[in-house]
Structure 1
Amino acid sequence: MKRILFLHGVGSSGGAMRPLAEELDPLPEAFFPDGPAPFDAGQGRQWFSVTGISEANRPERIAAALPDFRQIVARFGDPRESLLVGFSQGAIMALHAVAAGLPAAGVVALSGRLAGPVPLRPDWPPVTLVHGSADPVMPPAIVRATETWLRAAGAEPRLHLFEGLGHGIDAGGLRCCAAFAPNDARKRGGVTPGPLRPGRQRCGLHRTDGRIRITPGDTR
């Protein structure tokens, strides 16, 4: 793995993910791309529109967004050397792109999901699902279904469900990201997060009661 791409949620931007990377410093090269389209319900960017979204039309919207997503990922180098760390809609795109055959070093899906079953793939990269038991946007049942769909498609996902966590990221989620860091970086100790840095709020990411919250970009 040479680089990490941090992929934001809908209505947010790549810059909103920078503090997450800072919590994991030092890391390989990190990039924070913006979604390809303006958010059609306010400020920020989106990977696909969530206006009028439903379980029935979500798969076709994701499929339509995949070509742009693949181009954005490829812009930063060989996807096989890129770890995709996505939050919410960014996680959805990462999971579906890899399910559709995009080579990647791995996927960490933070508060994300699949839209439904995906085709069998013989060469899945590592996939980690990080989710809150109290997520009101994507309830735990959907991430459990995502785990089932991934296994049926040949993947071996690791699901980490954090008790009491809503639609956000806490120190446990950070540790899941850190697990993908190169061995030499882990040995230096810099990527295994301790207590979260207090008192900072910027780029839509803040900390409350020891937990990271990412806003906006918290839907679908």
Structure 2
Amino acid sequence: MTTLVLMLHGVGGNGAGMGGLARHLAAPGLVFRAPDAPHPFNAGFRWFDIAGITPQNRPARVEAARKGLDALIDLHQAETGARRVILLGFSQGAIMSIDALARGRVAEAVIFAGRYAVAGAPQPLPGARGLLVGGSFDHVIPAAEVAEASELLARIGVATTYLEEPIGHEIGPSGLAAAKTFLQ
């Protein structure tokens, strides 16, 4: 059975920047795709607008971005024939992944530096699970917010594993190793 791992980049990034992770995470049965987010941002792309963003308006912006993410999931799932889809997101891509996991769009996600910004009533799929990784020195999305996202997902029925490593706003070796194990 083919499993699609859809890798979602952060603000200002692009799919090519996430593509290198596939070399480290490759395993039999896994197919990796790293699309660009739908909206241009400087030299890269974004999933939703960050101008004037606050904790209060962030969930509505994530909700507005769902259609674009769902279309990419459908496209890549159809292209690969995958029955199982795992999202792997970094930063803004991680925020989108948390939202997709909480609303039952996917049952599995790997989250690097993401916060919970889910609009509406969460409805995760049965058996949903997530790996959430935060960086102790991350000043963009502090580890405490990633830990809180893990706790909030657990409260709605998602089986979560939280890992904190001594890094900034990046993907570190411990998180990468945990992701490899999660994907198997």
TM-score by length of 2: 0.88
2:137 is aligned, of 116, 134, 138, to 134
- 3-state SS in 1 of match to 2:104: coil
User: RMSD between aligned alpha carbons?
Assistant: 1.9
Query: Do structure 1's residue 146 and structure 2's residue 149 form an aligned pair?
Result: yes
Q: Do 1:12 and 1:45's aligned partners in 2 also have CA atoms closer than 8 Å?
A: yes
Q: Looking at CA atoms only, which structure, 1 or 2, has the larger radius of gyration? A: 1
In 2 relative to 1, CA 116–76 (structure 1 residues): closer, same or farther, beyond 3 Å? closer
In 2 relative to 1, CA 151–51 (structure 1 residues): closer, same or farther, beyond 3 Å? same
For structure 1, the residue ranges without an aligned partner over 5 or more in a row are: 183-220
Measure how far apart 1:176 and its partner are.
Answer: 1.4
Aligned sequence identity (%): 35
For structure 2, the residue ranges without an aligned partner over 5 or more in a row are: none
Q: Do 2:128 and 2:157's aligned partners in 1 also have CA atoms closer than 8 Å?
A: no
Q: How many Å separate the matches in 2 of 1:148 and 1:97?
A: 16
Amino acid at match of 1:23: H
What is the aligned partner in structure 1 of residue 10 from structure 2? 9
Q: Deviations over 1:2-46 (max 9, x none)?
A: 22111111111000011111222345211111101111xx22011
4+ residue runs over 3 A deviation: none
Q: Do 1:80 and 1:103's aligned partners in 2 also have CA atoms closer than 8 Å?
A: no
Amino acid at match of 2:97: A
What is the aligned partner in structure 2 of residue 67 from structure 1? 67
Following superposition of structure 1 onto structure 2, how do residues 1-220 of structure 1 map, counting pairs within 5 Å?
A: 2-26=3-27, 28-39=30-41, 42-77=42-77, 80-104=83-107, 106-115=108-117, 119-121=122-124, 123-162=126-165, 164-182=166-184
Q: Do 2:86 and 2:106's aligned partners in 1 also have CA atoms closer than 8 Å?
A: no
Q: How many Å separate the matches in 2 of 1:125 and 1:157?
A: 9
- 3-state SS in 2 of match to 1:127: strand
Q: How many Å separate the matches in 2 of 1:3 and 1:30?
A: 6
Measure how far apart 1:115 and its partner are.
Answer: 1.8
Q: Does 1 or 2 have the higher relative contact order (CA < 8 Å, sep 6+)?
A: 1
TM-score by length of 1: 0.75
In 2 relative to 1, CA 116–25 (structure 1 residues): closer, same or farther, beyond 3 Å? closer
Q: Do 1:109 and 1:129's aligned partners in 2 also have CA atoms closer than 8 Å?
A: yes
